[in-house]
Structure 1
Amino acid sequence: MSEAFAVARPLVLWGLLALPPWVLWRLYLRRRDAVPYAPLQYRPAAGRRRLAWLQPVVEALLLASVVAGLAGPYHAASLELVEDEGIDVVLVLDVSLSMLATDFEPNRLAVLQRVARDFIARGGHNRVGLVIFAKDAFVHSPLTTDHQVLEALLDSAGVHAIDQAKSGGTAIGDALLVAAERLVKARLEHRGQAVVLITDGASNSGIDPLLAARYLRQRAIRLYAVGIGGDKKVPVTFEGRRVGGDNPYLAVLDDAQLEAVAAHAGGHYYRAADAGALESIFGQLSRLEHAPLKRRTVESRRYWTSACAAAALGFFTLHLVLAGIVLRRPLR
């Protein structure tokens, strides 16, 4: 909150410079007009003579009050109100069976959920939504600032949230469009928007992800793509059984494709080969530029014109009392 005292018409205040000469001139006139050898009965009392200087001073104060009132003095106070500073983010999580690969301890999806929870907790007033996908994409949580509810939904965003028998595959383009649709519908003025895509595979189903990326860019939505997983074959266990039998699983992560997708959307691609790298990447993403959800400045002005008018009236009354009663000269 900032406060200041100002005047609406500052040039009027130059009139105050004339007041000291005014007082001196009035005192000079009073002495000049005094009768040096007046009869005793016409001389003012000694007390009145000592108050003679008071009248021009009161007149000067009267004029100063008038000048100050004409200048329009006011006290200004402004308060900037900022509500819910942050950005809108949709986390797009790959929940295909390959996310159960054990090259991350205990598996990729569990580590991703833990890191994403920390990202949400550090998000302040960010509005965060969740989209999960494999061959199909679904909104798992709309944009919300209720991070406790969001964390609970994140815990349920596992491979069981999608029918893996019917939805085997990786539809990155579809998932990006679903996320973009949620952001566009919930857009607020001056609010930054971003999509964070986390996947361990290459797009092999649905719309071309490059087309989806261009759609994001046209709507000023930044894309941050994270490729998760190493280059070695690792086992994937689902419901107590190894996927693929005794053959270790190797996720086909297309770095070039994800890099191009992120670039088309004006974003960036990160590669997380292990849990430490994933934590570091999300640490960077948590520092995305924040913008206010709502910012407005409330300004109030309290004018002192009426106070100046009251002061002028008081000094005018005092002037009349001095001139008509206290310092009145007796009739000759």
Structure 2
Amino acid sequence: MQTMKVFVVLVAVFATEQASAAVNTNTLARALHNKLSSLLKPELVFPPVPPGGNFKVLPKPVTPKLDFLLVLDSSGSITAKHFEAAKDACEILVDYIHGQSPFGMYGSRAGLIEYSTQSKTHVEFSFGDYNTVSSIKSRINQVNFDNGGATATGPALQLAKTELDVKGRPGNVGVVWVITDGKSNSGVNPKIPADILRANGVTVCVVGVGSSVNAVELNQIGDSGCVYRADSFAQLKTAARMAYNLSQPRLSSGFFNNLSFKRV
């Protein structure tokens, strides 16, 4: 029986009592790139040996396939404008993943949970509903702002766990990426489902966005070494784009100097 590794990436946007220092966009982009690239790092896998085969089999690098589950806060305090920026950032993350581990029926997959109050927390689309990167991004863009009256992060994480337990594909790496605008104020304490996820082999990462964040809650939810900060949604979107650019192949600075041309 295969064990499915589940990674939870929690992006949190808090407006509470603690002040924060300015965040360097390049540093944030590099941190996001390092984390995503580590999740997508190829692993050496031995291919199956045919029956009766009497020859040496060498391992080959295989890029992990992801079950990527977005969890978007849609409470009124986030505002429609910031909700659109959050969706833009998520679409860039989808592009990043697709560039390393393409989305498809038998490849990486994506889903989305939208939440605010407990009663409005729901699955917008699930794994396998959309199997191309363009259809996934288009569906993210179509998600409407709920303008709910609470921030039920704990129940949203519980639903994310259920979604992965029921529909996660064995062998795929589960990734949950939550974007929220503030300290949870409805339902179970998010630390509880986060701890349950960790006990099940989950890695939880947090990005707090805003000028004043609840650092205590961030560190309770996120794993050590997986707590990030951004000053604004605009900066998060920019950093996500920069992280994507870092993932793209680049020619060395002296590449063209080593080329020679012949007249024909």
Smaller-chain TM-score range?
A: 0.5 to 0.7
Aligned to 1:256: 216
Q: What secondary structure sits across from 2:192 in the alignment? A: helix
Aligned to 1:269: 227
Q: What secondary structure sits across from 1:140 in the alignment? A: strand
Determine if the alignment matches structure 1 residue 188 to structure 2 residue 169.
yes
Which residue identity does 1:92 align to in structure 2?
V
Alpha-carbon distance in 2 for matches of 1:120, 1:100: 23
Aligned to 1:122: 96
Report the CA distance shift for 1:216/1:283 in structure 2 as closer, same or farther (over 3 A): farther
Determine if the alignment matches structure 1 residue 157 to structure 2 residue 143.
yes
Q: CA deviation at 1:201?
A: 0.8
Aligned to 1:280: 239
Q: What secondary structure sits across from 2:112 in the alignment? A: strand
Which residue identity does 1:88 align to in structure 2?
D
Please give the residue correspondences for 1:1-332 in structure 2 after superposition, counting only pairs within 5 Å.
85-100=64-79, 107-124=81-98, 125=102, 126-136=108-118, 137-144=121-128, 145-159=131-145, 162=146, 164=147, 167-231=148-212, 253-263=213-223, 268-274=226-232, 275-280=234-239
Alpha-carbon distance in 2 for matches of 1:283, 1:179: 28
Q: Relative contact order (alpha carbons < 8 A, sep ≥ 6): 1 or 2 greater?
A: 2
Alpha-carbon distance in 1 for matches of 2:244, 2:203: 12
* Larger CA Rg, structure 1 vs 2: 1
Q: CA deviation at 1:205?
A: 0.1
Q: CA deviation at 1:84?
A: 7.7
TM (norm. structure 1) is 0.47
Q: CA deviation at 1:149?
A: 2.5
Report the CA distance shift for 1:255/1:225 in structure 2 as closer, same or farther (over 3 A): same
Q: What secondary structure sits across from 1:215 in the alignment? A: helix
Q: What secondary structure sits across from 2:97 in the alignment? A: coil
Could you list the runs of 5+ residues in structure 1 that have no partner in the other structure? 1-73, 102-106, 232-252, 289-332
Q: When the two structures are aligned, how many residues end up with a matched partner?
A: 182
Indicate conservation of the 8 Å contact 2:127/2:168, yes or no: no
Could you list the runs of 5+ residues in structure 2 that have no partner in the other structure? 1-52, 103-107, 248-264
Identity of aligned residues (%): 24
Aligned CA RMSD, in angstroms, stands at 3.3
Aligned to 2:256: none
Q: CA deviation at 1:81?
A: 8.8
Q: What secondary structure sits across from 1:89 in the alignment? A: strand
Report the CA distance shift for 1:201/1:285 in structure 2 as closer, same or farther (over 3 A): farther
Alpha-carbon distance in 1 for matches of 2:165, 2:244: 21
Alpha-carbon distance in 2 for matches of 1:282, 1:261: 25
Alpha-carbon distance in 1 for matches of 2:151, 2:244: 23
Higher helix share: 1
TM (norm. structure 2) is 0.58
Alpha-carbon distance in 2 for matches of 1:207, 1:123: 31
Report the CA distance shift for 1:222/1:127 in structure 2 as closer, same or farther (over 3 A): farther
Indicate conservation of the 8 Å contact 2:69/2:110, yes or no: yes
Alpha-carbon distance in 2 for matches of 1:282, 1:180: 28
